[in-house]
Amino acid sequence: MQRLVDETAIQQRVRELGEQLSEVYRDRPLTVVGVLTGCMLFLADLVRVIDTPHRIGVVHASSYRGKTTTAGDLRVDTNLLPDIRDRDVLIIDDIFDTGKTIEKLVESLKTFEPRSIRTAVLLVKEGRSEVAIAPDFHCFEIPDAFVIGYGLDYNDDYRHLPFIGVLDDPQA
Ligand code: 5GP
Ligand code: MG
């Protein structure tokens, strides 16, 4: 396995983002909404360095990925979402690849009438976006490779790793 972003770099960048978000959302009614399951490590580290009171909620997004993946194949489950009406929502996801997941999540959460919606992702893959929106905040831009670790999985393995890696042979 090749290491793409090590633990120290992640922790430092997450801390910087937390400081930035603390100013953006100072004295605002913030709800941080994590996208399960990939958000877990990023969410847990980030909320501990957002130095202004906020609520935490989660949604679940799932997709059937493959050659025919379209927006219609994405499902967003909002059963665990707390009330976000008139609140400032910050969606937290692991990675922005084609952007279809984030686009769908923003559309879905808008129906709950929050005061604002912004998005923050750990990783953005260069040159892959297929949508008109971009994340409002991100930690790292990475080349187009399949990455694992720090919440990201391959067949549900590797999520617990504290760094971002690229598998040499995902089939192995
Ligand atoms: P998008 O909708 O932006 O194309 O894809 C976003 C979702 O696809 C992410 O939330 C993640 O679940 C999955 N994904 C995209 N690229 C990768 C990757 O390189 N590694 C892993 N583990 N998941 C990815
Ligand atoms: Mg995901």
List the CATH number of the domain containing 108: 3.40.50.2020
- How far, in Å, CA of 154 to CA of 160, rounded? 11
When divided into structural domains, the chain yields a total of 1
Beta-carbon neighbours within 5 Å of ion ligand 2: 38
Residue 50's domain comprises 2-61+75-166
Cβ(101) to ligand 1 under 6 A?
yes
Quick one: DSSP state of residue 48?
Answer: T
Task: Report if residue 125 sits inside a domain.
Answer: yes
Please report the pLDDT score of residue 69 as a whole number: 47
- In this prediction the pTM is 0.94
Task: Report if residue 67 sits inside a domain.
Answer: no
pLDDT in tens, the chain (172 residues): 899 999 999 999 999 999 999 999 999 999 999 999 999 999 999 999 999 999 999 999 987 665 554 556 799 999 999 999 999 999 999 999 999 999 999 999 999 999 999 999 999 999 999 999 999 999 999 999 999 999 999 999 999 999 999 988 766 5
SS3 call for 26: coil
Task: Report if residue 70 sits inside a domain.
Answer: no
| 88 labelled catalytic | no
Task: Report if residue 34 sits inside a domain.
Answer: yes
